[in-house]
Amino acid sequence: MTAPTDATAPTGAWELPEELVLLRETVRRFVQTEVRPLEDRLPHDAAGFPAAELAGLQKKARDLGLWALATPEEFGGAGLSVLGQVVVAEAAAACRMGAYFPAGGAFGGNPPSVLFRATPEQWDRFGRPIVEGRAGKAFTAITEATGGSDPARAIRCRAERDGDEYVLNGAKMWISHAGTADWGVVYARTGGADERGGISCLVVERDTPGLTMTPIGVMNSFSPYELHFDDARVPIDNRIGAEGEGFGLASEFLVHGRIVYAAGPIGIAQHALGLAIEWAKERQVFGGPLADKQAVQFVLADSEIELRAARLLMYQAAWNADLGKDVQVDASVSKVYGTETAFRVLDRVMQVFGAMGLSKEMPIERWFRDLRVKLLGEGASEVQRMIIARRLLR
């Protein structure tokens, strides 16, 4: 099968600023020439590159300026707009590991966004090493077994004040990157139950006594972790913001994060559609190419229509965010339609490929599993619809 080129490129978008077009093309070339050849040497379900290969990729990315893209300039990052972030995220996702490691993890340098509200001392200790490439990812722990879609009420993990320390007890579930991170931000209840103002944000280091991490086997190739805190002591100096302000800090960044979250699935689905187009032109059935069959043509056409619509909704949400508008509904619309469209397209692509789509010779079945998980991450589709409905009925 011929490797797709232009067939995988997003089309139908309104005109982007020239600098973002150039950035998108740089990212696209990097993924095609640097990331995919390395991926081809790894097992089908590999969840990351070996350390040496990742370091090499990251050096090349930094040399191209593809580093700390979402980190504000005052913190040493590129300070990309939300629109710029979605453009990069879409292009960087067009690889086998793209659902969880855009560009194979090459574009590092971004700490959890809440660190941009840290004190200078906290930033120097935790945030700066990530931006400067001296440390890897950090995790963010909000979700618990009691629920993740309503954290203001679901959080039961408690942090009790004891002198100049907090004593953490409880558990967190479905935490990405916890297994390889040096530290993470944990949202714990310091006030009364069911109080939005009773949640605080604490930086917890990996080697903290009383913290244990256990991987959770799931249907996709990237395992999240369960975190247990048993009288884990955290210095009060590790608290980000004032006591009880954690939920407000989290909400500030979650909305914009949903917009960027939609970009990865759209990028994967667009790349998969390009593979299906090439396959349909080459696959011979009933005396001619599969692409001559109207049923297949309509599947491809419907997928292109929906991906264009999803991309424009995402761009609109990002544009409004950059204008400083209230984008809570825009973000929910973008997240729901982007992830659900991407999953539908993957389903159709798998059908076009037939049995080959189920084979691990192709990345499609892995993407199918990964994108199914994306319907739940960053707030399930049902929660996003609830947010939209509340605003409509207000």
The fold adopted by the segment(s) 139-240 is Butyryl-CoA Dehydrogenase, subunit A; domain 2 (2.40.110)
Q: Provide the pLDDT confidence category of residue 223 given band limits of 50, 70 and 90.
A: confident
Give the pLDDT score at 221.
79
| 57-66, 122-131, 188-197: least confidently modelled range | 188-197
Q: What average pLDDT is seen over the chain? A: 92
Task: Tell me the domain boundaries of the chain.
Answer: 6-131, 139-240, 248-393
Give the pLDDT score at 196.
64
Neighbours of 236 (CB within 10 A): 15
**One-letter-per-residue 3-state SS of the chain:** CCCCCHHHCCCCCCCCCHHHHHHHHHHHHHHHHHHHHHHCCCCCCCCCCCHHHHHHHHHHHHHCCCCCCCCCHHHCCCCCCHHHHHHHHHHHCCCCCCCCCHHHHCCCCCCCHHHHHCCHHHHHHHHHHHHCCCCCCCEEECCECCECCCHHHHCCCEEEEECCEEEEEEEEEEECCCCCCCEEEEEEECCCCCCHHHEEEEEEECCCCCEEEEECCCCCCCCCEEEEEEEEEEEHHHEECCCCEHHHHHHHHHHHHHHHHHHHHHHHHHHHHHHHHHHHHHCEECCEEHHHCHHHHHHHHHHHHHHHHHHHHHHHHHHHHHCCCCCHHHHHHHHHHHHHHHHHHHHHHHHHHCHHHHCCCCCHHHHHHHHHHHCCCCCCHHHHHHHHHHHHHC
Contact 200, 190 (CB under 8 A): yes
Give the pLDDT score at 242.
94
Tokens of 381: 């589709």
Counting beta carbons within 10 angstroms of the beta carbon of residue 35, is it exposed (0 to 12), middle (13 to 18) or buried (19 or more)? buried
- Residue 225 reports pLDDT greater than 60: yes
The fold adopted by the segment(s) 248-393 is Butyryl-CoA Dehydrogenase, subunit A; domain 3 (1.20.140)
- Residue 155 reports pLDDT greater than 50: yes
CA nearest neighbour of 82 among 92, 67, 72, 74: 72
248-276 pLDDT, tens digit per residue, is: 888 878 899 999 999 999 999 999 999 99
76-96 pLDDT, tens digit per residue, is: 999 999 999 999 999 999 999
User: Which residues carry out catalysis?
Assistant: 378
pTM for the full model? Answer: 0.92
CA nearest neighbour of 179 among 135, 216, 133, 150: 216
Give the pLDDT score at 151.
65
The fold adopted by the segment(s) 6-131 is Butyryl-Coa Dehydrogenase, subunit A; domain 1 (1.10.540)
